């Protein structure tokens, strides 16, 4: 198993940035797709179907917007050398968590706390 000795490890950061940038491109493409919606006919049935698709896309768009924002924030953090620091407790975020989830802005403990509050 690969061990990350130091969070400021330059190679690790470069990899994370690369992954985030790739992800950002993919997310923005997806976001553009949700803006388009297929044309349905004009019968009541088809209109209802169209409304459903538009609503679904709006929900998706909101989600994507948030993820895009988080991804951009993570890239900024790498550039400012603040990457891997928990937004809540200012402690280090677990390297394993960052690897699995590069946009993570909280450590496992804080993320769990926040999740439980909801």
C-alpha–C-alpha distance, residues 43 and 63, integer Å: 30
- Give the Å distances, CA to CA, from 35 to 41, 51, 57, 109: 19, 13, 7, 36
Binding-site size for Zn ion (CB under 5 A) equals 5
DSSP class of residue 51 equals: H
Q: Closer to Zn ion by CB, 64 or 98: give it.
A: 98
Nearer Cβ to Zn ion (64/74): 74
85 SS3 class: strand
Q: Is 103 in the site for Zn ion (CB under 5 A)?
A: no
- Window 36 to 95, contacts with Zn ion (CB under 5 A): 86, 88-89
User: Least distance to Zn ion from the beta carbon of 101, Å?
Assistant: 14
Which tokens belong to 40? Answer: 């349905």
Interaction between residue 108 and Zn ion (CB under 5 A): no
Which residues, 6 or more positions from 23, have their beta carbon under 8 angstroms from its beta carbon?
Answer: 71, 102, 103
Nearer to Zn ion, 48 or 108 (CB): 108
One character per residue 10-39, x = contact with Zn ion (rule: CB under 5 A) = ------------------------------
Chain positions contacting Zn ion, by CB under 5 A = 86, 88-89, 107, 110
């Amino acid at each position: 198993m690969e061990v990350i000795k130091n969070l400021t490890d330059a190679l690790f950061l470069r990899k994370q940035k690369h992954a985030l940038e790739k992800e950002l491109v993919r997310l923005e493409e997806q976001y553009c797709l949700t803006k388009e919606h297929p044309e349905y006919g004009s019968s009541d049935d088809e209109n209802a179907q169209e409304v459903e698709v538009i609503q679904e896309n709006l929900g998706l768009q909101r989600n994507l917007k948030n993820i895009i924002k988080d991804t951009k924030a993570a890239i900024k953090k790498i550039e400012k050398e603040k990457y891997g620091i928990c937004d809540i407790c200012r402690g280090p975020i677990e390297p394993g968590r960052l690897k699995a989830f590069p946009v993570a802005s909280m450590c496992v403990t804080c993320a769990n706390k926040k999740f439980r509050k909801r």
